[in-house]
Amino acid sequence: MSERFLVTGGAGYVGSHLVLALLDRGDEVVVIDNLRTGHRAALPAGVRLVVGDAGDPALLDAVLGEGGWSAAFHFASLSLVGESMREPYRYLLENAATGIRLIEACVRHGVRRFVLSSTANLFDQADRDLIDETTPIVPGSPYGESKHMVERALLWADRIHGLRSACLRYFNAAGADPQGRIGEDHDPETHLIPLAIDAALGRIPPLNVFGDDYPTPDGTCVRDYIHVADLADAHLRVLDVLTTRSATYNLGNGRGHSVREVIDTVGRIAGRPVPHVVAGRRAGDPATLVAGSARMRAETGWTPRHASLDDIVATAHAWRLAHPGGYGAN
What is the mean pLDDT, run by run of 10 residues, along the chain of 330 residues? Answer: 94 98 97 97 94 98 98 96 93 98 98 97 81 94 96 98 97 96 94 97 96 96 97 98 98 96 98 96 84 97 96 98 83
Q: How far apart are CA 281 and CA 251, in angstroms?
A: 26
Q: Are 44 and 29 contacting, i.e. CB atoms less than 8 angstroms apart?
A: no
What 3-state DSSP class applies to 203?
coil
Residue 269 DSSP symbol: H
Q: How far apart are CA 132 and CA 86, in angstroms?
A: 29
Question: Which active-site residues does the annotation give?
Answer: 143
Residue at 145 is within a domain: yes
Of 201, 199, 227, the residue nearest 322 (C-alpha): 201
Of 51, 50, 41, the residue nearest 181 (C-alpha): 41
HSE toward the beta carbon, residue 131, CA cutoff 13 A: 27
Is the same domain home to 105 and 207?
no
Q: How far apart are CA 287 and CA 185, in angstroms?
A: 27
Residue at 330 is within a domain: no
Supply the CATH number for residue 203's domain.
Answer: 3.90.25.10
Instruction: Work out whether strand 113-119 and strand 71-74 pair parallel, antiparallel, or are unpaired.
Output: parallel
Is the same domain home to 152 and 37?
yes
Range of the domain at 127: 4-173+226-251
Handedness of CA 279, 282, 286, 290 (dihedral sign): negative
Residue at 183 is within a domain: no
Supply the CATH number for residue 163's domain.
Answer: 3.40.50.720
pLDDT given at position 277: 97
pLDDT given at position 129: 81
pLDDT given at position 330: 40
Is the same domain home to 76 and 142?
yes
Is the same domain home to 160 and 241?
yes
**Domains in the chain, number:** 2
Is the same domain home to 121 and 215?
no
Q: Are 25 and 49 contacting, i.e. CB atoms less than 8 angstroms apart?
A: no
Of 152, 135, 176, the residue nearest 289 (C-alpha): 135
Is the same domain home to 29 and 159?
yes
Q: How far apart are CA 126 and CA 106, in angstroms?
A: 33
pLDDT given at position 282: 81
Instruction: Work out whether strand 113-119 and strand 164-170 pair parallel, antiparallel, or are unpaired.
Output: parallel
Is the same domain home to 233 and 86?
yes
Q: How far apart are CA 270 and CA 301, in angstroms?
A: 33
Is the same domain home to 113 and 245?
yes
Of 234, 194, 223, the residue nearest 323 (C-alpha): 194
Please report, for residues 46, 76, 236, the alpha-carbon distance to residue 94 in angstroms, rounded to integers and kept in the order given.
30, 10, 27
Residue 5 DSSP symbol: E
Handedness of CA 319, 308, 260, 223 (dihedral sign): positive
pTM of the full predicted structure? 0.96
Is the same domain home to 55 and 160?
yes
Residue at 187 is within a domain: no
Q: Is the peptide bond before 324 cis (omega within 30 degrees of 0)?
A: no
Distance from the Cα of residue 107 to its chain's centroid: 24
Is the same domain home to 201 and 155?
no
Residue at 329 is within a domain: no
- In one letter, which amino acid is 187? D
Is the same domain home to 219 and 313?
yes
Is the same domain home to 24 and 148?
yes
Phi, psi angle pair for 277, to nearest 5°: -135, 150
Instruction: Work out whether strand 257-258 and strand 222-223 pair parallel, antiparallel, or are unpaired.
Output: antiparallel
Residue at 236 is within a domain: yes
Residue at 79 is within a domain: yes
Residue at 327 is within a domain: no
Give the containing element (helix H, strand E) for 20.
helix 13-24
